[in-house]
Structure formats: C-alpha cells, structure tokens
C-alpha cells in the first residue's frame, strides 16, 4: 500500500541491451517463415524473412547514397510497407529517422527539415488533399534540374536526396524501388559491419511534438528507448507468434511506430495495415478477413468503428486484446469495446512522445473497474511520482502533475538544450504537463492537462470529469468540454457534443441531465451540437481550436477578460 504518490516498475524481465536491428534479426531466426507484414491496400503479405531481405537491401541502398550513421532522413508518408521497411533499414544503417506528419504543409515541412538537417527525404506522391510532390517542388524548384542525389536547394540547404514512393518518378527524384539496386557488395558488407558498431544508446528517431512555443520540438529517441518500450508493450499485451495486430493508427506517431510495429516484431506477431489512413469500415473488414486478435486505436477510432452502420455485420470474435490510448478513454466506450468487440483483454496505455511513449499500462487481468477508470499502473523499469506546484510528492488520491523517469525518457529535444532543460529536470524527471491522481494500489488516473484545467470563479474544474458524466447520457456519442474566457468568472465551461445517429437533443436536455447530479459550477454554460471535432491526424481532439471558434462566435474580447 502506498503512502505517497510514487511508484517504481520493478520487473523480473531485464531491459534489452541491443539495437533495434539486432533484435529484428534475432526475431527472423525464430519466426522467419511466419507472416510479419500484411498490407491490405497494397496486396502485400511478407514473412519475417522476406521483410528482413527488403530491410537489408534498402539499408544497403541508403549507404550507397553516401548516408552515414547519425545522418537524418525524413519520411513523409501515410501507412504502407515502405514505412516499416524504412524504419528498420535506417536503424540498421545507424541513420536517424525523422517522422514528418502527413498533414504538414509547406512551412511545416521546411521547418522540420531545416531544424534537424535532413540529408534525404522519403515521401509518398500524395495523400488525401496533400500533393507532396507539388509542395516539395515549391520548396525546392531546383530539383527538376538536379541529378538525383545531388540537389542544391536554397531553402533546404542540407537536403541532397529525395526518394519517391509510388507514381511516376519525377526528374531529380529516386524511386523507392530503385534504392536497393544501387547497393554494391561493399554497401551490404557495411550494413553487416555496422551491426557490431552501433550502440543501443545511439539516437534512432526524431518525432516532432507541438509545444507552447508555437514551433514543433524534435523529441530524440534511441534504440534503447524505442526497442524496450515496444517490447514491454508486447509483453503487456501477451503477444505471440499466434497473434495478428490490426494497425489503423498512423505510423509516423509513436503509437504506430513503437506500440504497433516494434511491439509486434519483437514477439513474432503479424502486423496488419488495413489502409493508408484510418477508415472504420476497412478496419472492420480487415479484422474479419485476417482473423486479427489485437486492435489498436485512439478512443475516437473505436467510437467510429462501434458507430459504423455496418458494425454488426462483421465477425470480430477473433479479437482478444489491443490498446486504447492517445487521449483519455471514455468509460462507456471502453465497456462497449470489451462487450461488443470481444476485446476482453483490451488495455489502456498512457504516455507521451518524449517517453517513447508508454509510462503506465493496465494489465489484461486487471479488474474491469480498474480497466475502465484508470490508465493502469507503472510500466516495467519506469518511475512515476505526482507532485504539487511546489514539487512535493502528494498523498495518494491527491491531484498533481505526473512526472516520469527511466529508460523511456528521450535524450532531449533536438538542438534545443533550453527546452530540454525546461522539460527534464536535474534529477532526470520528465514533466508531462498532465494532472493525475494515484491510488494506494498504484493505479493512475489522468484528470486533465495542467493547461486545460478550467478555473471558474476560483473553483478548479477538470473537464474530463464532466465529459465522463455526460457520456452517460444515452443520446451522446462523443463530447468535449473546455473553458472559454468570461468577464465575471474568468472562465466558463463549454461542451461540444456529437449525438448518436438519428438522435436529437436540446441544450436544456443536457442541463436537465446535469441538474442535481454534478455541482452547479460544473454544468456547462455553453452547449453546442456539432458533427465533428477538430482533430490532429492521430485522432487527438484540438480543444484550442474549439476554444478559438467559441471566442469568435461569442465575440469575446480576450484582452478584457484576461
């Protein structure tokens, strides 16, 4: 029983002291003939041995381009086979893979490439409304007159090589399939020799995460960070070579890259990519067709799957486990996933990009109440403490900021020592910015973001508490609660609500449902019924965008209310 909100994830299983490439080669020795990667939209089905051959050939091809350990290579693409090949090939070549958000536009791409000094960029031809080729050529008009691999760009001075996935290859570009053919015997030998030279503390990955500065920060992760977080995630899911993991989450994000790809490939599990981007119907079709046993997603994805008009047509009985993460999980949604999607061992994960990403995880045999009301307990080999605004550890049950320490904490933000120091203190604790509580058994509950907490008339209000209550209303499909400026109370609550298909409700209906059940100051003053929430590509709701929209709608003068 805990007497203060501090825990350490003791484990009988040691951390893996090896590189991602070495671990993958060992996996191929065990499960070489078994399915490793199934990409339904590309009609691809590769065994572990076939995937290894693709990885090694592409890694040697990267070496042939003059790329060396420590160089940065960006990938700007939706989910496909080329993504996972690139992930493991760069790791084997000692190259740092830079994940670029598929939703980025020209200014964001320019910032990302220049921030970390990418020497090469691997990109899809297009994705949804994004024409990647057109954006690159606006940034790098010199490319069409350049020899492939010899670009000299005024705006992107470090970029020398652009590699195109799919479509007709343009002048100045390499075709992705061409890269392995460039490798010589010496290049292949270089990849083999690197397996003994690379160290597991070498950086392997840079992932951009938004911050209050207005510019994305490049969280720098090592082999050690990524491999162990993925491996222990697979352990938590009880993955084996008998499992198939359905992956509708984007690979550019930690959820897809680590909790899906690495978790599966460290355990002999087959990866199943339903489509290049999330679509609830293709997910349901893939689960049934491939008899998937595990499914990952953020809450909004599960809500979309459960709410699809054809949901009941599909046989999902093969499912047993998976992860729901990325944002707070509504309790009622979790219950429906367990009951209606047969995921009796569905678990909740909590973390952040800077912690590779998992900090806490529920267990498959945790009581249902704990599964649906907490984010589980401490991850193996990780520490957590919850502190007040003076930095003192709070008692169990008290709210404070959650701090994490351990192998999973990033090396830092790329080329940003000051921002790194602001996030990781002198004792090595990562300050998450999340408000949390910990009970006497060590189960954690995230109650909101430090910056999301609403202070109304001196009362501290945690929006998630109100969201959880409103989810009980039978007509509500999804809800988000946030604060907007107010002259009298400093802030007032606003709720954006998505109703279930065919349902109708009024603002008074919602307020009547709250009356007498929650404190009067927690009842939203403003209620709006909407068809969708503004979201990131990973499915995270953007409350700041909702707040901005309400400020504009209400004509609020923030200067007067500040």
Q: Taking CA 543 as the corner, what is the angle to CA 540 and CA 549, rounded to the nearest 5 degrees?
A: 130
| Segment 531-539 mean pLDDT | 83
Helices in 65-105 by DSSP H: which ranges?
81-93
C-alpha dihedral (484, 485, 489, 492), degrees to nearest 10: -10
Dist CA 491 CA 132 (whole Å): 41
> How would DSSP label each residue in 285-297?
HHHHHHT-SEEEE
Dist CA 350 CA 224 (whole Å): 19
Reported as a pLDDT band with limits 50, 70 and 90, residue 327 is low
* CB within 8 Å of 92: residues ≥ 6 apart: 20, 21, 55, 56, 59, 191, 194, 195
Per-residue pLDDT at 559: 35
**What percent of the chain has a predicted confidence (pLDDT) above 90?**
80
Per-residue pLDDT at 212: 38
| Segment 157-173 mean pLDDT | 95
CA atoms within 13 A on the CB side of 294: 31
Dist CA 112 CA 126 (whole Å): 18
| 371-395 pLDDT per residue, tens | 878 899 999 999 999 999 899 999 9
Q: What is the pTM of this model?
A: 0.85
Per-residue pLDDT at 210: 63
* CB within 8 Å of 271: residues ≥ 6 apart: 36, 37, 38, 84, 245, 247, 260, 261, 264, 265
Q: Taking CA 25 as the corner, what is the angle to CA 19 and CA 30, rounded to the nearest 5 degrees?
A: 130
Buried b (16+ CB within 10 A) or exposed e, 360-392: bbbebebeeebbbbbbbbbbbbbbbbbbeeeee
| 29-81 pLDDT per residue, tens | 999 999 999 999 999 999 999 999 999 999 999 999 999 999 999 999 999 99
Sheet harboring 430-438: ordered strands across?
A: 6-8, 382-387, 400-406, 430-438, 444-449
* CB within 8 Å of 365: residues ≥ 6 apart: 345
To the nearest whole number, what is the mean pLDDT of the chain?
93
Dist CA 402 CA 167 (whole Å): 46
| 174-189 pLDDT per residue, tens | 999 999 999 999 999 9
Dist CA 281 CA 304 (whole Å): 9
Dist CA 287 CA 270 (whole Å): 12
Per-residue pLDDT at 94: 98
Question: Does residue 213 carry a pLDDT above 50?
Answer: no
Dist CA 104 CA 438 (whole Å): 37
Per-residue pLDDT at 562: 34
Dist CA 271 CA 190 (whole Å): 29
* CB within 8 Å of 108: residues ≥ 6 apart: 101, 216
- Packed helices 331-340 and 299-306: angle between N→C axes, nearest 10 degrees: 50
Q: How many helices (H) and strands (E) does the chain have?
A: 18, 29
Per-residue pLDDT at 536: 77
Q: Give the pair of three-digit tokens for residue 154.
A: 């005024």
Per-residue pLDDT at 328: 65
| 420-448 pLDDT per residue, tens | 999 999 999 999 988 899 999 999 998 87
Per-residue pLDDT at 43: 98
Per-residue pLDDT at 1: 84
Reported as a pLDDT band with limits 50, 70 and 90, residue 544 is confident
Contact 90, 62 (CB under 8 A): yes
Dist CA 445 CA 468 (whole Å): 13
Question: Does residue 204 carry a pLDDT above 90?
Answer: yes
> How would DSSP label each residue in 403-459?
EEEETTS-SEETT-HHHHHHHB-TT--EEEEEEEEE-TT--EEEEEETTT-EEETTE
Q: Can you tell me which residue has the tokens 């005024």?
A: 154
| 474-524 pLDDT per residue, tens | 999 999 999 998 877 878 999 999 999 999 999 999 999 998 888 788 899
Question: Does residue 462 carry a pLDDT above 80?
Answer: no
Reported as a pLDDT band with limits 50, 70 and 90, residue 368 is confident
Domains of the chain: 6-15+218-449 (3.40.50.12780), 47-199 (3.40.50.980), 460-561 (3.30.300.30)
Least confident of 104-108, 238-242, 412-416: 104-108
Per-residue pLDDT at 538: 67
Dist CA 469 CA 291 (whole Å): 35
Per-residue pLDDT at 75: 98
Would you call the peptide bond into 357 cis, given omega within 30 degrees of 0 as the criterion?
yes
Dist CA 524 CA 520 (whole Å): 9
Report which secondary-structure segment, H or E, holds 469: helix 463-470
Per-residue pLDDT at 560: 37
Contact 314, 282 (CB under 8 A): no
């Amino acid at each position: 029983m805990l007497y203060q909100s501090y825990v350490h994830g003791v484990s009988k299983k040691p951390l893996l002291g090896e590189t991602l490439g070495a671990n993958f080669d060992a996996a191929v020795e065990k499960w070489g003939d078994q399915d490793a990667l199934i990409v339904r939209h590309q009609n691809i089905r590769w065994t572990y041995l076939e995937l290894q051959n693709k990885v090694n050939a592409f890694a040697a091809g990267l070496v042939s381009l003059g790329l060396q350990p420590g160089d940065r290579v960006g990938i700007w693409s939706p989910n496909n086979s080329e993504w996972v090949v690139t992930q493991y090939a760069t790791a084997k070549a000692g190259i740092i893979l830079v994940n670029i958000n598929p939703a980025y536009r020209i200014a964001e791409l320019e910032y990302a490439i220049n921030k970390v000094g990418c020497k090469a960029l691997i990109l899809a031809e297009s994705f949804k409304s994004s024409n990647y080729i057109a954006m690159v050529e606006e940034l790098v008009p010199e490319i069409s007159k350049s020899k492939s691999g010899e670009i000299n760009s005024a705006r992107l001075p470090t970029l020398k090589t652009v590699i195109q996935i799919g479509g007709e290859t343009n002048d100045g570009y390499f075709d992705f399939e061409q890269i392995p053919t460039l490798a010589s015997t010496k290049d292949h030998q270089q990849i083999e020799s690197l397996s003994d030279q690379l160290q597991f503390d070498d950086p392997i990955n840079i992932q951009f995460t938004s911050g209050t500065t207005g510019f994305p920060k490049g969280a720098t992760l090592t082999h050690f960070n990524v491999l162990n977080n993925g491996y222990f995630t697979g352990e938590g899911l009880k993955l084996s070579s008998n499992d198939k993991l359905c992956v509708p989450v984007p690979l550019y994000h930690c959820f897809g890259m680590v909790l899906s790809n690495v978790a599966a490939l460290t355990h002999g599990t087959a990866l199943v990519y339903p489509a290049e981007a999330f679509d609830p119907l293709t997910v349901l079709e893939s689960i049934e067709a491939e008899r998937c046993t595990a499914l990952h997603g953020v809450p909004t994805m599960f809500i979309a799957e459960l709410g699809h008009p054809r949901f009941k047509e599909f046989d999902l009985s093969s499912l047993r486990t998976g992860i729901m993460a990325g944002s707070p999980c509504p309790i009622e949604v979790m219950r429906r996933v367990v009951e209606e999607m047969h995921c009796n061992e569905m678990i909740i994960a909590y973390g952040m990009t800077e912690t590779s990403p998992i900090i806490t995880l529920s267990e498959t045999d945790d009581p249902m109440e704990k599964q649906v009301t907490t984010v589980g307990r401490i991850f193996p080999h990780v520490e957590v403490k919850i502190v007040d605004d003076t930095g003192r550890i709070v008692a169990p049950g008290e709210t404070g900021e959650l701090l994490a320490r351990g192998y999973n904490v990033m090396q830092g933000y790329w080329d940003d020592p000051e921002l790194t120091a602001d996030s990781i203190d002198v004792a090595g604790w990562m300050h998450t910015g999340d408000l949390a509580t910990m009970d006497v058994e060590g189960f954690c509950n995230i109650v909101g973001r430090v910056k999301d907490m609403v202070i109304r008339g001196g009362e501290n209000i945690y929006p998630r508490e109100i969201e959880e209550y409103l989810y009980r209303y039978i007509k509500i499909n999804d809800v988000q609660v946030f604060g907007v400026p107010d002259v009298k109370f400093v802030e007032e609550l606003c709720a954006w609500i998505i109703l279930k298909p065919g349902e109708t409700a009024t603002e008074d209906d919602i307020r009547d449902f709250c009356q007498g059940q929650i404190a009067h100051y927690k009842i939203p003053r403003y209620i709006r019924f909407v068809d969708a929430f503004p979201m990131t590509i990973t499915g995270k709701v953007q409350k700041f965008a909702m707040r901005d929209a309400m400020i504009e709608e209400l004509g609020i003068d923030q200067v007067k209310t500040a």
